[in-house]
Amino acid sequence: MRKARVFAEGAIKTASQDGIGALIIDNPRRKNALTQAMWRAIPDAMEWLTDQGSRAIILTGAGTTDFSAGANISEFEAVRANAAQARIYEAENSAAFAAIREVRVPVIAAIRGVCYGGALGLAAAADLRLCDETAVFAVPAARLGLAYPADAVEDLMKGFGHQLARQLLYTGAAFKASELMASGFLTRITSADTLEAEAVKLAETIAANAPLSIFAAKLALRASEAKDEDLLREAAILGAATFESADYQEGRAAFREKRAPVFKGE
């Protein structure tokens, strides 16, 4: 059964069905730019999606032209007028990045058109990134006199590599998808009319696998990237729990019986 919920007065939309979750940035009149209310809503939206049993989540922008232009600069005079407000706003950015990065299920960013600034931070925090041929990426923070959040810089370094991350941050220049493919940041470039289908197909493949195995894998990957011994121990404990799980029994039975397994996350 499909379940749906809206956040930030409808500007952040979520839906979950058959283990596939979706988070949609919905402000097409401004190229899906994110208001402060939208940034604040993302952690709650991600929590809701996992509560609905989503095994993979697709992150995308509303409409057919853009992922997101990043932060809604037009409201900065009201919400980032001074240093105190700016620090609060940046903390809300970082909380949104963390919600994408740390959710226990894989997040797939499906990107078309502009993916700028904070929106690129969201995409960089995702596990996998698909885009179509129209996608363009940039970090224009230096052109606004702002520093890009440090945690988002770390995600850029992981995703793009040291040299390209520096070029993005130092120049503010825009890069086409074809220019970034070799960096490893993108999983695949699709045609404009197949992006959504490719993202759903990938999410379905992930969702069909054993959830406990996926949880353990994501936690171990995070621990490895962060060089976090505590997280690594948690991942080892979670991995060990799969040995006695019902899903492990189901996986072996399905292999013997030459059928597709039906995993329940137990």
Please indicate, yes or no, whether residues 65 and 167 belong to a single structural domain of this protein.
yes
> Same domain for 150 and 224?
no
Residues 60-64 have a mean pLDDT of 97
| Same domain membership, residue 236 and residue 187 | no
| Same domain? 106 vs 170 | yes
What pLDDT, on the 0 to 100 scale, is given for residue 123?
A: 98
Task: List, for residues 200-240, the tens digit of each pLDDT value.
Answer: 999 999 999 999 999 999 999 999 999 999 999 999 999 99
Joined tokens for residue 263: 């995993």
Do the domain assignments include residue 82?
Answer: yes
Mean pLDDT in residue range 171-199: 96
Tokens of 71: 């932060």
Instruction: Please determine, for residue 189, whether its predicted confidence score (pLDDT) is greater than 90.
Output: yes
**Model pLDDT for residues 11-57, shown as the tens digit of each residue:** 999 999 999 999 999 999 999 999 999 999 999 999 999 999 999 99
Residue 15 has what pLDDT?
A: 98
Domain assignment present for residue 264? The answer is no
The pLDDT assigned to 251 comes to 93
- Residue 217 domain flag: yes
Give a yes or no: residue 199 inside a domain: yes
Map residue 172 onto helix, strand or coil: coil
- Do 243 and 116 sit in the same domain of this protein? no
| pLDDT tier at 185, thresholds 50, 70, 90 | very high
**What is the predicted pLDDT for the residue at 23?**
98
Same domain, 193 and 216: no
Percent of the chain with pLDDT over 70: 100
Q: What percent of the chain has pLDDT over 90?
A: 99
Residues 89 and 142 reside in one and the same domain: yes
* pLDDT of 263 over the 90 cut: yes
Whether the CB-CB separation of 72 and 30 falls below 8 Å is answered with yes
Structure confidence at residue 1 (pLDDT): 84
Considering the domain architecture, whether residues 8 and 136 belong to the same structural domain is answered as yes
Q: What is the pLDDT of residues 115-171, one digit of tens each?
A: 999 999 999 999 999 999 999 999 999 999 999 999 999 999 999 999 999 999 999
219 with 101, same domain: the answer is no
Q: Helix-strand-coil percent breakdown of the chain, rounded to 5? A: 55, 20, 25
**CATH number (domain holding residue 197):** 3.90.226.10
Place of tokens 């993108």: 186
Residue 227, domain extent = 211-257
Specify the DSSP class assigned to residue 74: G
Task: Assess whether 152 and 78 both reside in one domain.
Answer: yes
Q: From edge to edge, which strands make up the β-sheet containing 114-116?
A: 114-116, 136-138, 175-176
125 found inside a domain? yes
- Number of folded domains in the chain? 2
pLDDT for the residue 22: 98
Same domain, 146 and 44: yes
Domain-located, residue 12: yes
Asked whether residue 247 falls in the same domain as residue 153, the answer is: no
Pick from 142, 148, 115, 118: nearest CA to 129: 115
